[in-house]
Structures are given as structure tokens and as C-alpha cells.
Copies of this chain bind each other. A is one copy, B any other.
Amino acid sequence: MEFLRSKIKEEGRVINATTLKVDSFLNHQLDPQLMLEMGKEFKKRFEGKGINKILTIEASGIAIGIMAGLAFDVPVVFAKKKKPSTMSDMYCTTVHSFTKKIDYDICLSKEFLKPGDRVLVVDDFLAMGNAIIGLEKIVAEAGAELCGVGIAIEKGFQEGGRIIRDRGIHLESLAILDTMEKDEVKFL
């Protein structure tokens, strides 16, 4: 997706060999037009899969998720990172973040994911793939079907992409980083 790659080139900041900061359009400040285009692009790439629900994780996944939901005209549900006090009947699983070096729980109300649901998971980054595998578990537990995973930026130099594809999951990443050396991002 040329628009996203240009944004990364122009505004992304390479922090080190594995960390790219895209705070100005994806993680803290958000570019609504870019998000809209990403939603449409996911619609194109997962056309005909009968998707009836978008699943993502708070907080950075929400903007991408809502635009995917708009493009597909289906509801969006986001997993919460801690157990809300008003939520009782939930799917929960623990995710390890290699980037942040922490474990966290993701929780989803059983009300919003049901057997027969055909789910597209979307997220901002794919690094080691643990968040996606956590969501895959929740989808399986709900008896729903994971029809695909749509990612804004895949870190091609980390394991996540290979792991997800090896599980037979249809993965589409809108930009795949190859290397980040000397402050310069190269794409696959």
C-alpha cells in the first residue's frame, strides 16, 4: 500500500534496529484518511470471505478496526487489556509482548463473539505474533472462524509473519518492513 509506505518513509522514526515509531499517524496521533484507506484495502484483500465481524485489541487497533468495520459494514469488537468491572462472562487469555517485555491479559465479552461468526482480526503492528495468537485462541474458544488477519505494519525481520502464515492463516500486511538501518526503513 503505497500511501502507507510513503507515510512511514516521511514520518516514521527508527528508534533502533527493531523499533519504529509511527506516533504521528498510527499510534498516538491518527490520520483519519489513512485509516479509511486501510479499511478499504482490507475489504479488497479479504473480499468474498463472508466476514461478519472485525476483531482487534485496544488501544492502537481501534482506529484501524472501526475503519475496517465501516468498509465491510459489520460490527467491530475490541479486546480489552484489563478485565472491566462491569463485564462478567468473558473469554480471557494472556499475551506476552516481546516489544514491551510484559505479560498482559486480553478479555472479550462472550456476548460479542459467537459460533458461526466469520472474523477478520486487524491490528497496527505484527512483530512476534503473540497478540494475534491470543486473539486466534479467543476466536477458537468462541467457536467462531478466523477468516483472516489484516496488519498495518509487519516487521518482516521478526518471526510473527512466518508463524501466522505457517498456521495456515490468511495474513495480509499493508507494509512489510525488511530492515531499519541507519535511520532508513526498507520494505520487502
Contact = CB atoms under 8 A, between A and B. Distances in A.
Interface string A78-118: 10100011110000000000001000000011011000000
A70 interface: yes
Interface SS of chain A: mixed
Interface in A6-24: 15, 19, 21, 23-24
Contacts of A30: 62, 65-66, 69, 75-78
Contact of A24 (B36, B63, B74, B112): B112
Contacts of A69: 30, 32
B23 A70 contact: no
Question: How many chain copies does the complex carry?
Answer: 2
A153 interface: no
Contacts of A33: 70, 73
A119 interface: no
Interface in A52-79: 58-59, 62-63, 65-67, 69-70, 73-78
Interface of A: 15, 19, 21, 23-25, 28-33, 35-36, 58-59, 62-63, 65-67, 69-70, 73-78, 80, 84-87, 100, 108-109, 111-112
